[in-house]
Amino acid sequence: MPFALTQTNIVGQPGCAPATLTLANGFGCSTTPVQNNYAVNRFYRLGHVQVWNLDIQRTLPMGIVMNVGYNGAKGGELDILRAPNRTANGASDTGAQPFNYEDSPGYSRFNQLSVNVRKRLQKGVSLQATYHYGHSIDNASSIGGGKPTVAQNDQDLNAEEGNSTFDVRHQVTGNWVLELPFGPNRAYLNKGGFWSKALDGFSLSGDFTFATGTYYTPHYVSTVAETATGSNNSLRPDRVFSQSIGGAGTVLDWFNKAAFVTPASGYGTASRGSIEGPGIVAVDASLSRTVGLGETRSFEARVTANNVFNTVQYSGIDTTLNSQTFGQVTSTAAMRRLTVLARYRF
């Protein structure tokens, strides 16, 4: 079991002076205990994943193509950050100093239904939309690229199973293209004249995303001893099962805070990923026009609006039980933004 030894030496602390802090003896002047050492399982295995999918396609009338698919994945030997010898209050239960321990007993499961409908460009109109219904479960807090969180109870790793931090239960995405029906060879104003030329070459396009939120884990900061081990934010509160987690969905009351309480003793019963965060309602749009200037030259102008309806998007919530802002929205996504582009091709 390889251990990493760390030490902080600060000139001015007791027993640490410039005379004792030398290249020959650079680590001999500190008498302060150092917390949060770590170790790695010498039999640590690299994670693996198995992926499978099935897709059925059918062509429907009016140039519409529909795909119905299933995607599945199973991960094994995933990374889990453990804290052996640590009790719920952060102290050691063996007399040895608590430390972080990198191990690979984690696992994940993912299942998803996907329905895609698209209409090929016909008479200046093209549409595409995809609906996903999926669920991802794991007991490895580092999966998905997030910052690893120490397992709450090293003796009960199965209690770490919960919704993945990136789990999105429902999601609808899509895009569209609409060529305005004005000008030569179009349905309207095709006889020539000022308006025929002025409105020729315009197109409206965009994309949209409507999705439920990802999942957050309720936690709390316990004693000074627990925080000093470097394993803070891993303890979870008790779940009050008579209370629904769903709240008002407002800035000051996103979820029901009464659904969680500080454990009377020991480890909490709340699950990882048990709080659904804010969802997404985003629509982007673009208006463009291309003007031909001969056989090989053209001029294109485009105005793009991200979050075209300037919808307020919440992007973070506070799930720390003993925080002043517990249960409140803490951040928002970007507001509407306009971008103007001009391009000359030759």
> What are the tens digits of pLDDT across the range 23-37?
666 666 655 555 557
What sign does the dihedral 15-17-20-26 (CA atoms) show? positive
Query: Is the pLDDT confidence value at 238 over 80?
Result: yes
* Alpha carbon distance 227, 300 (integer Å): 58
* Alpha carbon distance 112, 212 (integer Å): 15
Mean pLDDT value across residues 31-58: 84
Query: Is the pLDDT confidence value at 305 over 90?
Result: yes
The strand pair at 298-306 and 337-345 is best described as: antiparallel
Do residues 149 and 129 lie in contact, with contact meaning Cβ atoms separated by under 8 Å? Answer: no
* Alpha carbon distance 251, 314 (integer Å): 8
Please state which of the ranges 2-6, 46-50, 103-107, 325-329 shows the lowest mean pLDDT. 2-6
- 158: DSSP letter: G
* Alpha carbon distance 257, 267 (integer Å): 19
Per-residue pLDDT tens over the stretch 101-157: 899 999 999 999 999 999 988 888 899 999 999 999 999 866 655 667 888 888 889
